[in-house]
Structure 1
């Protein structure tokens, strides 16, 4: 069997389905190939099963890339409002959580069903359970699976990155890129918990404790919750800075954001018989307060402590440096930093500059969003850019 199409899309995730739907509705004959038995597996687990499908404030500043300007074109032409209009046209109820994050009221299954219906409107052919054996390029692209070969003048790589391998994620997109001579920016886990070793292992004793903090890595800061785990640090603030963290770097945590730097001196004046532990317990979860007080080493009443010691303690609480010894890897990473180099692609169409007809979209590209719906918005926007060009 050798069937011909106008375009073949590899991957039935968020980007692949969106691209196929847009191209199909423009009259193109589109085939989507997916190695999993069902489409949209990552969509289904996202947002705790409710799919954080976009962020209303998404813009280029919310993305990491070797070229920070690359994402501007696609994001400007397909905005969070555009996707929200599509969601509302399907009567999918939604709500906004913190920081502009939009979720389904019901289930992520509604988003997958919507994308499949959009594909159906465009006459898109979807084949699941088809692992790709080879891709050849001789004028047209020929994709061979265990079930046959398929040919098209256009091929879209939408197979994502290697994050969450238990969902079937691999580095297949990078293998294809190298086959076609496209540069790949070294992929690494992002939005991933950090691990602690050495003396910092003590913090594992408070596994399960979380607190609102400001976390900073490489001069980039996020004000959200941090969570101590049995392996190290997690929670939204830590996941966010993990994208900017590099091995050997510290991560600084402000445990008392908004506090006057002189607050301990004020406490000494107003409550001289109070202890550092008791003041910290007023501001933080008890177990976290206890371990921080112990490490700061100011025993007894504040009235007996020197101003210098209290200033030093306050300063450290405002910038407590952790030294992660690694991350929990792609297995626990929500996304991948790095990927197929944007220098190889048109920012308007997502087409490879040197290989006409080859497109790369979604997480496979070296564009990575913050936590909170930004990566879905890049999937939609890059997919529409390619779908409009096919």
Structure 2
């Protein structure tokens, strides 16, 4: 068990958490990533059928659904798809373009995960702990946060929620991040499913089973 202070604690070792940790470390911050699963980047490894659709050639603010469209404009002006494509090229990761400008790795999603981990390791300011269950989180009077976990007690100046959404519970998806955000006074909008398959279990299943493998572009 440990008891320590770091500049930044990131909850979640997925794509967002790893990317943020790498950039915070480059700014001289000490970073601790806490991941409840046994491995990091599980969703990265399964994305794109294992080939990771890591970005798109055509990324514009209008492509995003957001309650605050100005945020998307600001975010993409600071770090665009071309910045990430450049990073992929720096690591000599082979990729291909598919329909609608989608970019996929040729040799597997593991290369994207390894790239993000390498970025975190560049400064030696990032520590990653898996199997870490976070319990009580409380704000400190002088600023910052206190966290109790199954691996010890930690304090930090900045706390980042990068726990992902509700999708794929078997890979760690949960409402933990939403609940935590609400606890600290952030407005959380109702969630809704996106990019999910239709699942049939009644008489329609028999019909759709026979149609398996067929594809049709629709709007």
TM-score by length of structure 2 reads: 0.92
Alpha-carbon distance between aligned partners in 1 of 2:207 and 2:81, rounded to the nearest angstrom: 39
Shift of 1:69: 3.3
| Partner SS for 2:217 | strand
Aligned: 1:172 with 2:176: yes
Alpha-carbon distance between aligned partners in 2 of 1:181 and 1:207, rounded to the nearest angstrom: 48
* From 132, 135, 140, the counterpart of 2:134: 132
Residue of structure 2 in register with 1:48 after alignment: 49
Spell out, residue by residue over 1:244-302, the C-alpha distance to the aligned partner (whole angstroms, 9 max, x if none).
Answer: xxxxxxxxxxxxxxxxxxxxxxxxxxxxxxxxxxxxxxxxxxxxxxxxxxxxxxxxxxx
| Partner SS for 2:189 | strand
Spell out, residue by residue over 1:191-247, the C-alpha distance to the aligned partner (whole angstroms, 9 max, x if none).
Answer: 0123569996674263305233322xxxxxxxxxxxxxxxxxxxxxxxxxxxxxxxx
The alignment's C-alpha RMSD in Å is: 1.8
Alpha-carbon distance between aligned partners in 2 of 1:188 and 1:25, rounded to the nearest angstrom: 35
- Does the 8 A contact of 1:18 with 1:115 survive in 2? yes
Q: 1:145-224 alignment to 2 at 5 Å?
A: 145-195=149-199, 203-204=207-208, 206-215=210-219
Q: 1:307-346 alignment to 2 at 5 Å?
A: none
Aligned CA distance change for structure 1 residues 111 and 203 (closer, same or farther; 3 Å): same
| Partner SS for 2:216 | strand
- Does the 8 A contact of 1:34 with 1:131 survive in 2? yes
Spell out, residue by residue over 1:36-65, the C-alpha distance to the aligned partner (whole angstroms, 9 max, x if none).
Answer: 111100000001111110011011111112
Larger Rg: 1
Spell out, residue by residue over 1:283-335, the C-alpha distance to the aligned partner (whole angstroms, 9 max, x if none).
Answer: xxxxxxxxxxxxxxxxxxxxxxxxxxxxxxxxxxxxxxxxxxxxxxxxxxxxx
Q: 1:74-113 alignment to 2 at 5 Å?
A: 74-113=75-114
Alpha-carbon distance between aligned partners in 2 of 1:200 and 1:127, rounded to the nearest angstrom: 45
Alpha-carbon distance between aligned partners in 2 of 1:11 and 1:77, rounded to the nearest angstrom: 23
Aligned CA distance change for structure 1 residues 180 and 206 (closer, same or farther; 3 Å): same
Alpha-carbon distance between aligned partners in 1 of 2:83 and 2:102, rounded to the nearest angstrom: 15
Shift of 1:70: 2.6
Alpha-carbon distance between aligned partners in 2 of 1:91 and 1:204, rounded to the nearest angstrom: 42
| Partner SS for 1:173 | helix
Moved over 3 A (4+): 195-203
Aligned: 1:8 with 2:12: no
- Does the 8 A contact of 1:26 with 1:122 survive in 2? no
Count the aligned residue pairs.
215
Aligned CA distance change for structure 1 residues 133 and 96 (closer, same or farther; 3 Å): same
Residue of structure 2 in register with 1:35 after alignment: 36
Q: Identify unmatched segments of 5+ residues in structure 2.
A: none
Spell out, residue by residue over 1:120-176, the C-alpha distance to the aligned partner (whole angstroms, 9 max, x if none).
Answer: 112211111111112111122112111111111100110000101111111110110
Aligned CA distance change for structure 1 residues 205 and 46 (closer, same or farther; 3 Å): closer
TM-score by length of structure 1 reads: 0.53
Q: Identify unmatched segments of 5+ residues in structure 1.
A: 216-390
- Does the 8 A contact of 1:141 with 1:152 survive in 2? yes
Alpha-carbon distance between aligned partners in 2 of 1:31 and 1:197, rounded to the nearest angstrom: 44
- Does the 8 A contact of 1:23 with 1:122 survive in 2? no
